[in-house]
């Protein structure tokens, strides 16, 4: 069974940093592109970042470019999101998501974690 | 403001057919596949339709998707009370070099 478990969320002050992790199990982690998608309270879905299965290709939303860094560790089956220079508008539930297929950088997210809440506030 | 435009709300009575539109442009919907997600309050989204009109295993055939030009649609036939949820379309955008979502449509079953 595919499982994605996010951790690392919490309360942080504006300008601060936080590192999210997503621990994957139940599948061959190194075969799938992985993504982060967020949802601000009461708002819609917003894609954040995606990393290819090999880690060689990365794309980020304009809203987080230069501040957030996605990475993956195949030895630990973990997907990380390093978030720096956090802003109030980064407050959201952050989900990690896995594609349903192994083709390229697939954005067909058939598996989602339960999400971790990040609150940026003074 | 979302790059993909969805109506903020839609409604129907049990048994009816409802459609939700998703309007984009040449850089996203016209040249890339559209995916649809269903989300209930407090839980993660669920993949409903992918590659414009494909249903993942376990999704009832009451749900269908289509695409024409720069627009896509999600249709739900035989509407049921448990279909009351938020629905989002998404696609890759070649200009932004990233994924975009519609603003979401809240479906109410009257």
Burial class (CB in 10 A: 0-12, 13-18, 19+), B31: middle
pLDDT of residue A59: 97
Inform me whether the pLDDT recorded for A94 exceeds 90: yes
Mutation target for B interface from A68, A92, A108: give the one with most B CBs within 10 A.
A108
The residue among B95, B66, B78 whose CA lies nearest residue B12 is B78
Say how many CB pairs under 8 Å bridge A and B: 58
Tokens of B68: 């024409």
State how far the Cα of B38 lies from the Cα of B14, in Å rounded to an integer: 18
Residues of B49-82 as b/e, b for ≥16 C-beta within 10 angstroms?
A: bbebbebeeebeeebbbebeebbbbbebeebeee
Residues of A17-38 as b/e, b for ≥16 C-beta within 10 angstroms?
A: ebebbbbbeebebeebbbbbbb
At B2-51, the pLDDT tens digits run: 689 999 999 999 999 999 999 999 999 999 999 999 999 999 999 999 99
Q: Which residues contact A89 (CB under 8 A, 6 or more apart)?
A: A40, A63, A120
3-state secondary structure of A89: helix
For strand A58-60 and strand A68-73, is the pairing parallel, antiparallel, or unpaired? Answer: unpaired
At A6-32, the pLDDT tens digits run: 999 999 999 999 999 999 999 999 999
Cross-strand bridge partners of residue A119:
A11
Dihedrals φ, ψ of A88, to 5°? -55, -40
Inform me whether the pLDDT recorded for B1 exceeds 80: no
User: A111's torsion region: left (phi>0), alpha (psi -120 to 50) or beta?
Assistant: beta
Smallest Cβ–Cβ distance between A114 and the set B44, B90, B100 belongs to: B44
The residue among A31, A3, A27, A1 whose CA lies nearest residue A113 is A3
Inform me whether the pLDDT recorded for A103 exceeds 90: no
pLDDT of residue B2: 63
* pLDDT averaged over every residue in chain A: 97
Tokens of B61: 């055939």
Residues of B contacting chain A (CB within 8 angstroms): 2, 35, 37, 39, 43-47, 50-51, 56, 86, 88, 90, 92, 96-104
State how far the Cα of B10 lies from the Cα of B103, in Å rounded to an integer: 13
At B45-72, the pLDDT tens digits run: 999 999 999 999 999 999 999 999 999 9
3-state secondary structure of B84: coil
């Amino acid at each position: 069974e595919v499982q994605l478990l996010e951790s690392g969320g919490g309360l942080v002050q504006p300008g601060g940093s936080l590192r999210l992790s997503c621990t994957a199990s139940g599948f061959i982690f190194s075969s799938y592109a992985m993504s982060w998608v967020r949802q601000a309270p009461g708002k819609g879905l917003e894609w954040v970042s995606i990393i290819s299965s090999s880690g060689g290709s990365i794309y980020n939303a304009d809203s987080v470019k230069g501040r957030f860094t996605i990475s993956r560790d195949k030895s630990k089956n973990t997907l990380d999101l390093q978030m720096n220079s956090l802003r109030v508008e980064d407050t959201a539930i952050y989900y990690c998501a896995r594609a349903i297929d192994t083709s390229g950088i697939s954005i067909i997210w058939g598996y989602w974690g339960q999400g971790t809440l990040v609150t940026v506030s003074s | 403001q979302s790059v993909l435009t969805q109506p903020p709300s839609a409604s129907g009575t049990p048994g009816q057919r409802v459609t939700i539109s998703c309007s984009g442009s040449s850089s996203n919907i016209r040249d890339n596949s559209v995916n649809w997600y269903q989300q209930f309050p407090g839980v993660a989204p669920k993949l409903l339709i992918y590659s414009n009109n494909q249903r993942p295993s376990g999704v009832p055939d009451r749900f269908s998707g289509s695409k024409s030009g720069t627009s896509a649609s999600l249709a739900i036939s035989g509407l049921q009370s448990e279909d009351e949820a938020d629905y989002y379309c998404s696609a890759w955008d070649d200009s932004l070099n990233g994924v975009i979502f519609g603003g979401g449509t809240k479906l109410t079953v009257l």
